[in-house]
Amino acid sequence: MIGVYDSGFGGLTVLRRLRERLPHHDFLYLGDSGRAPYGGRDVHTLLDFAEQCVERLFEEGCRLVVVACNTVSCVALRHLQRRYAGPGSERRILGITIPAAEAAVAVSEGHVGVLATTRTVSSGTFVTEIQKLAPRLRVTQQAAPLLAPLIEEGWESTEIARLTAERYLAPLREVDTLVLGCTHYPLMLPVLRQTFHGRLLDPAPFAAERLLDWLERHPGFTGPSQGRLSFLCSGDPASFREHGARFLGAPIDEVVHIAEEAGRLQRRTSMQVVTGQILR
């Protein structure tokens, strides 16, 4: 079983592509929607959240975890790999930043743009990975903190979304290839195309191709599979089913709720909805 980890809904756009290329594999998706968004979090909080999420996936039986969140992939991937998947380990953790960089370098005519969350941009990881492959390639980043919340509200096709995208894309007019550095953004492609007239690059299909290639070279990291799909989320499971279907492009039938207890994410049989003042 392959674990796929994201801060919430966005990684479902990656899962969608993974399932297209690997339809017979079992996937367990963990969306940390109860603690999203990640894009403005400080790095130590991100590391704590990321550790808890990958540990939960390991405990569920996943030996291979794909970090589908660009923010975590840019900030915490190396930490996670060192902590859980070092030499001799029977576990592996893969990210999506390097496939995105490789895809951008392959098609760019000289100037790559990166549209992403504030934390992804401040990490500088996309710039580093792109220029490792092509040192002379120009890279311009733009943080777009309002886009993911607009998409989660279902407003990705509204005039508000168009105007917001227009403001964020203004500094990127000279870019020939724009990397969508947040997994929410593919839902906004029609609006982005109205404003940006260069090449828009969704990294998810490239990440799926890279995973397929990786699995062919490392066949021992997945066991017998039947194409099953399971979900864990730290937010409201009903909301996750409803909104997640937009990102996945398919209905989501059952979602198991998880919550933090003593520093670990644990399964819950139900989600407790509390109103008013709380005393402990």
3-state DSSP of 19-69: HHHCCCCCEEEEECHHHCCCCCCCHHHHHHHHHHHHHHHHHCCCCEEEECC
Average pLDDT over residues 17-23: 96
Task: Report residue 273's pLDDT band, with 50, 70 and 90 as the boundaries.
Answer: low
Instruction: Please report, as a single letter, which amino acid is at residue 280.
Output: R
CB atoms within 10 A of CB 122: 15
Task: Report yes or no on 75 lying in a domain.
Answer: yes
Which residue range(s) make up the domain with 127? Answer: 97-202
Instruction: Please report, as a single letter, which amino acid is at residue 165.
Output: A
Looking up residue 141, the CATH number of its domain turns out to be 3.40.50.1860
pLDDT at 70 exceeding the cut of 90 = yes
pLDDT at 232 exceeding the cut of 70 = yes
Residues 195 and 226 occupy one common structural domain: no
Residues 225 and 104 occupy one common structural domain: no
Residues 150 and 82 occupy one common structural domain: no
Task: Report residue 24's pLDDT band, with 50, 70 and 90 as the boundaries.
Answer: very high
Task: Report residue 78's pLDDT band, with 50, 70 and 90 as the boundaries.
Answer: very high
Task: Report residue 225's pLDDT band, with 50, 70 and 90 as the boundaries.
Answer: confident
pLDDT at 279 exceeding the cut of 80 = no
Q: What is the mean pLDDT of the chain?
A: 94
pLDDT attached to residue 274: 66
Task: Report yes or no on 275 lying in a domain.
Answer: no
Q: At which of 146, 178, 202 does a domain end?
A: 202
pLDDT attached to residue 85: 92
Q: At which of 202, 223, 249 does a domain end?
A: 202
pLDDT at 111 exceeding the cut of 90 = yes
Task: Report residue 40's pLDDT band, with 50, 70 and 90 as the boundaries.
Answer: confident
CA 46 to chain centre: 13
Average pLDDT over residues 156-181: 97
Average pLDDT over residues 40-60: 94
Task: Report yes or no on 276 lying in a domain.
Answer: no
pTM above 0.95, yes or no: no
pLDDT attached to residue 11: 96
Task: Report yes or no on 126 lying in a domain.
Answer: yes
Give catalytic residues, as residue numbers.
69, 182
Closest CA to 178 of 151, 196, 194: 196
Task: Report residue 276's pLDDT band, with 50, 70 and 90 as the boundaries.
Answer: confident
Closest CA to 93 of 54, 61, 126: 54
Q: At which of 167, 202, 237 does a domain end?
A: 202
Task: Report yes or no on 280 lying in a domain.
Answer: no
Q: Domain total for the chain?
A: 2
Average pLDDT over residues 133-145: 97
Task: Report residue 39's pLDDT band, with 50, 70 and 90 as the boundaries.
Answer: confident
